[in-house]
Structure 1
Amino acid sequence: MTGLPVLPTSLVGSAPQPDWLIDRAQLSGRQPPRVRARELWRPAPEHLAEAQDDATEVAIRTQERAGLDIVTDGEIRRESYSNHFATALDGIDLDHPGTVISRSGTPAPVPRIVGPLHRPSPVQVRDLEFLRRRTDRAVKITVPGPFTMTQLSADEHYGDPEAVAMAYAALVNAEIRDLFAAGADIVQIDEPYLQARPDDARAFGLAAVTAALDGISGTTAVHLCFGYAALVHERPAGYSFLPELAGCPADQISIETAQSGLDLGVLADLAGKTVVLGVIDLSDTAVEPVDVVADRVRRAFRYTHPSALVIAPDCGMKYLPRESAEGKMRAMAGAAAVLRAELEDS
């Protein structure tokens, strides 16, 4: 991946889906679905794929128009960040889901594992190819991580959560290889449950992430977060699982700092990694001024070099109004321009 400026800008993954595509009121009134939730889509089934393609093109153009350097597909075709991949696997009984307790403490229906997990074909390669054909900018695509999928499934086959995590890791590894072969510049693993379940994360989560990235030669990222701001309102003072990722094979670690006001001294623990720095507060629809975003980025300069930073929102923008999301993207691009000029003058 070449040609990126210092302090490149990027979404974490998701962009808002248009209300003509998905029932946003219903989407916002529930936890992210872990099994399929076809009732969320507005178009008839025979028109859904075309509508998703059209909305994805809108998301790509919105990112380009806002000035982002790295473009995603906005996860427009997904009901949630995880279920698009997790429900495409064999070994799952989707007609009779299981139940687990989510990070918010509520029961959630999840895929029930009834046999060996198997990926019958690449899940997101078409999505990546669609994105790659429609932009000349660097492109990123996201895949749910093996540890998080383990936490969001009900196992009735393996009998051991570590074995489940390693089975998922093998499938994620194969998917990542296919995505790079199809033209991805960056592939990101989404692992919010490393933060939500730190004890299990230390026991086998890091090993699962390492296995998912084993032998991968492209630029990879791992995203941690405290949960969607629209659904999880309280932020802890710091991450319960972060320094451990210094030893994983990922090139980039994606964290949130805007809403939480995170002490950026934690960046010292990630020396050698590029940090995807979340500097856009997604709990507030108001668009931050450029100078506010720039100040949030400057906080990191005490602990790491600007060349080791990517400017991003705290998490996915899925739940924001579209106008707000585009304004916040523009604020990121504006802050990057200000900071680049300062660095050139220094």
Structure 2
Amino acid sequence: MMKRRGLLLVCLVTIYFSPGCVPSPVDVNATVTAIAADVYATQTAVPPTPTVGPIHLEADGSGQYATLAEAARAASEGAALILGPGSYRLAESLEINTSLHLVGAGMDQTEIVSKAEGYAVLFSGAGPFSAEGVAFRHQGQSVADVVIVEGGAVSFVRCRFTGAVSGEGEDERAGLWLRGAASGLVQDCVVEGNGLGVRVSEQAQPALKENFCTHNGGAGIVYSDDAGGVASGNECSENGVGGIVVAGRAGPVLEGNLCADNGDTGIAYLDDGGGAARQNECLWNGLDGISVGGRASPTLTGNVCMDNGGAGIAYADSAGGAARQNECAQNGRAGIFVAETAAPDLGDNDCDVDAAAPEEASQ
């Protein structure tokens, strides 16, 4: 097209200087028509049609697309990416802002691996986005979360999240970070070997069910800001700090979780944390089974807090709330320990065979 335009321009410019270059009317009309057709085609070109239907990928690049990143860009809204066994290595962080479904061969067979700084995979769309049977792994020492969900509806089932690296000070990074207005389900997942396990912040309201959060440097599950939702049937064990932490103004419902063998506390409420904890088991933790500090005021009902190094349930600072029908036995310090200006409403708790708590109110 540019050559045709150039030919016409040269001829028009030189027409007054070299009569031999004058094109015939027929040639001029043909050239102008061709240029117009090229311009029209350029202006009305239709973008490539996204791939419709399931996209099958193989770790060696022999699938429909050579890489996961290429497939994610080409997929139509709501498409499924079927990932065969093997490691899918990302050259850089992968951001997904459309509805997409990742289906792997199992968390022990299919993994997505990244060495990138910041995050491995970020979902920033309205959803729905889902992943099933996939492991997400950050590799190396670059400071990074593994998977971040900035909002929208998501579902992670039978996935693994591992390798998040925290930075200096309070720059804690998570295996799975749900933030913004994220909602949806995280179920039957393994979250291990991260700075934090699952982090839920801002206004996120996910359902966390029957996940295994272990060997994370901080806590297995952390709620902050105004986050909420439900955590039920999870096991948070052998984490460096705690099983579950509720901070900020977060108010989740914690039900039927096992928080055991953590370095500090089974369940910890800080700041203005609230919500409810019921029928949880907090066993063999380094300090307390459940600790309530700051101005936190949760409702604790029917929890079993046994064999912890400190108290079964400990209140401090200006904490409040209520504790009913909890079993707190065989703890190192006391069944229920109340210090400073804390003023919880206690009643109907079973606190047998606990060590005495000198000079402090205890039950």
TM-score normalised by structure 1 residue count:
0.28
Higher RCO (CA 8 Å, separation ≥ 6 residues): 1
TM-score normalised by structure 2 residue count:
0.27
Q: Which structure has the larger Rg over C-alpha atoms?
A: 2
